[in-house]
Amino acid sequence: MKQFITSMIILSLAWMSLTGCTKKKDLEADTLNLALSANVKGLDPAQAGDLYSNTVIAQIYERLFSYHYLKRPLSLEPRLADGMPVASKDGLTHTFKIKKGIKFQDDAAFPNGKGRELVAQDFIYAWKRVADPNVNSEGWWIFDNRIVGLNAWRDGMKDGKVTYDTVVEGMKATDSHTIQIKLIKPYYQLYYVLAMNYTAPIAKEAVEKYGKEFLNHPVGTGPYMLKSWVRNNKLELVANPNWAGQTYPTEGEEGDKEAGLLEDAGKKLPLIKKIVLREITEDQPRWLNFMKGNLDVAAIPKDNFDSSVVAGELTDEMKAKKIELIITEDPDVTYTAFNMDDPVLGKNKKLRQAMALAYNGEEVIKKFYNNRAIKAHSPIPPGVDGYEKGFSNPYKKFDVSKAKKFIEDAGFPEGKGLPTFEFMAGSSSTSRQMAEYFKENLKTIGINLTITQNSWPQFTKKIRERKGQIWGIAWGADYPDAENFLQLFYSRNASPGANGSNYENPKFDALYEKAALLPPGEERTAIYQQMRDIIVEDSPWIFGAHRLGYAVKHGWLKNYKPHRIIDDKMKYYKIDKDLKAKLKAKL
């Protein structure tokens, strides 16, 4: 027994002496330190479904197109493509040239470990992977029923009748650096889609070498390479010496020059050689680490807002630390959805409108977004083609007396005769709090809610099985086109598709199908707005807000201009080392 105790003492002493040396390792000065608020799942472009995996993939892989870093509204520019593509008159055939001399990063998958040149076949291979049912890519929707012969190839893969070598009519490499795409019908979102990570070229050798572990061995053509990855903790990226390179843009939008965003114009990218991405899921540690200078930039969690921002500006205390506030318009919409299949909610337009009128949108924005959002009048957010500034939704007004009148017109004076509805909230505190507030709002016109909290799988399951009644959710843009939002009301997308409200309106459907065949332009925008008006009148949703991204960054981080859709951004960032040494000492 004594021995036991002695050994325990020795053990604990050893342990304490180890922990005693808490001397801080100096953070390398020229390293970008960022936080991801959820864990990265894997780094296979075909599986780039979630925001955080996507963020990392975008630094390692490149696509045919990307967006100009500074210009707003977003403007597409060629990345791996050599100039913009050539389209046939009917808009069905598109020919893409790809740049010569682009190399994959060095990797053991290649002969001698040296990265080989990128060819057109690498794109075709990657796109077929997205279509391959065995790869089970979340991105299949971007090609589904769009490209001649691809759906047939996909079905063929299920029965093992075709292979990757089988040529797909609508997706061919006509020579080593030319790709030809043939569409079934016009698809004007094609170029946007080709700026998404799903379509990044992939070297067949790498997939063959790593097999299912390919998701942990990214082999890209981009500015950075994965150096190490401690799962659920952090990823380290380093500059890729094989990268073909790019220079910092020389022009931006108004105000960029004043903001110092053009100081590095024309310089060779990337400006930072090493990136450390930490996966920190809880708000408190993320915020405290930023305040200590361990992170260069952090989104302000809702509840840190009051202590750091006053009337849209940072507090003096924060300013003294040279911390800067960055506000961006995120192309997204939050909304409260009604299940149109519900016998009471689905049949009563007036009832839905009454609920929309009772919803105090301004107060929600104040309480839950700290004014970091603008009121949504329609599903189409700013920065997206089809958005109309100044458009006003007649039901997007907090007007209790009008709401009371509407509910009377609907046949339920003061809510009499209405059942208690179930409102589905998520499992987080914020989601619950917002639900509580909505409940209070509806109480004023006599409507009762019970709130249930659901884990994300339960939440999606209920919506997909059409079992939900009312719920709160949001949609973020995949690309800057209103079509991406209006598809949420198309009846063929009803549950289990993305149209969780199960909204069905033949008139809307006809317009949707018509707009899909039109090129961007006034005619299409007019139809988008017609569709929007139908939605606004039918009110299958209560529109919430278009959120503004509020981030704080330390003074030493330069060239920081975020946008939700621009993901290949870290190559532009720069750290002012001297300033960092000076400022960090004071934190």
Within positions 96 to 135, which residues make up the interface with another protein, using CB under 8 A? 133-134
By CB under 8 A, is residue 491 in contact with another protein?
no
* CB of 101 vs another protein, minimal distance in Å: 33
Stretch that binds another protein, among 40-48, 67-75, 103-111, 263-271 (CB under 8 A): 40-48
Q: How far is the CB of 388 from another protein (least distance, A)?
A: 25
- Return the range that interacts with another protein (CB under 8 A); candidates 179-187, 264-272, 290-298, 344-352: 290-298
Restricted to residues 148-207, the positions that interact with another protein (CB under 8 A) are none
Compute the distance between CA of residue 103 and CA of residue 413 in angstroms, rounded to an integer.
70
Q: Decide the pairing of beta strands 373-375 and 332-338.
A: unpaired
- Which strands make up the sheet holding 31-36, listed edge to edge? 31-36, 274-279, 234-239, 224-230
Token pair belonging to 544: 């919430």
Give the shortest CB-246-to-another protein separation in angstroms.
30
Q: Is 360 in the site for another protein (CB under 8 A)?
A: yes
Strand partners, 299: 551
The least CB distance from residue 540 to another protein, in Å, is 18
How crowded is residue 272: how many other Cβ atoms within 10 Å of its Cβ?
Answer: 24
Q: Fill in the DSSP letter of residue 160.
A: T
Pick between residue 9 and residue 526 the one whose CB is nearest to another protein: 9
**Is residue 209 part of the contact set for another protein (CB under 8 A)?**
no
- Residues numbered 46 to 65 that lie near another protein (CB under 8 A) are 47, 49
CA distances from 261 to 69, 111, 559, 562 (A): 10, 41, 5, 12
DSSP secondary structure, 477-546, as one string: -SSSBTHHHHGGG-GGGBTTSSBTT----HHHHHHHHHHHTSPSSHHHHHHHHHHHHHHHHH-SEEE-EE
- Site residues for another protein, 73-92, by CB under 8 A, read none
**Could you tell me which of 278, 232, 234, 272 has the C-alpha nearest to residue 35?**
278
Residue 250 CB contacts under 8 Å (≥ 6 apart), including other chains: 262, 265, 266
Phi, psi of 559 (to 5 degrees): 60, 35
> What residues from 302 to 341 belong to the interface with another protein (CB under 8 A)?
302-307
Under DSSP, is residue 140 helix (H, G, I), strand (E, B) or coil? helix
Least Å distance, CB 291 to another protein, is 7
Contact with another protein (CB under 8 A) among 464, 507, 577, 582: 464
Q: Which stretch binds another protein (CB under 8 A): 81-89, 491-499, 503-511, 572-580?
A: 491-499
Q: With binding defined as CB under 8 A, does residue 285 bind another protein?
A: yes
By CB under 8 A, which span of 7-15, 64-72, 78-86, 248-256 interacts with another protein? 7-15
Q: Which residues ranging from 433 to 462 are in contact with another protein (CB under 8 A)?
A: 433, 435-437, 439-440, 450-458, 460-461
Please state the closest distance from residue 166 (CB atom) to another protein, in A: 20
**Helices (runs of H) and strands (runs of E) counted in the chain:** 18, 23
Which backbone phi and psi does 508 adopt, to 5 degrees?
-65, -45
337's enclosing H/E stretch is: strand 332-338
- Toward another protein, which CB reaches closer, 180 or 294? 294
**Which span (296-304, 403-411, 546-554, 574-582) binds another protein, by CB under 8 A?**
296-304
In the complex, least distance from residue 97 CB atom to another protein, rounded to whole angstroms = 29
Contact pattern from residue 494 through residue 513 relative to another protein, giving x for each residue in contact according to CB under 8 A and a dash for the rest: --xxx---------------
Q: Which is nearer to another protein, 232 or 247 (CB)?
A: 232
- From the CB of 451, what's the least distance to another protein, in Å? 4
Distance CA 399, CA 397 (A): 6
Q: Does 273 bind another protein (CB under 8 A)?
A: no
The neighbouring-strand residues paired with 175 are 178
Nearer to another protein, 121 or 493 (CB): 493
Binding of residue 19 to another protein (CB under 8 A): yes
Q: Which residue from 148, 152, 184, 215 is in contact with another protein, where contact means CB under 8 A?
A: 215
Q: What are the Cα distances from residue 410, in Å, to 17, 253, 351, 407, 415? A: 73, 49, 6, 5, 10
Give the list of residues 6+ apart from residue 497 with CB closer than 8 angstroms, or none.
none
477 binds another protein (CB under 8 A): no
The count of chain residues that interact with another protein, using the rule CB under 8 A, is: 91
Q: Return the SS3 of 86.
A: strand
Q: Which of 65, 140, 210, 490 binds another protein (CB under 8 A)?
A: 140
Name, in order, each residue with C-beta under 8 angstroms of 365's C-beta and a sequence gap of 6 or more. 371, 372, 373, 374, 375, 545
Residue type at position 346: G
Based on the shown chain and the rule CB under 8 A, indicate whether residue 136 belongs to the binding site for another protein.
Answer: yes
In the complex, the smallest distance separating the C-beta of residue 544 from another protein, rounded to whole angstroms, is: 17
Q: According to the binding rule CB under 8 A, does residue 227 interact with another protein?
A: no
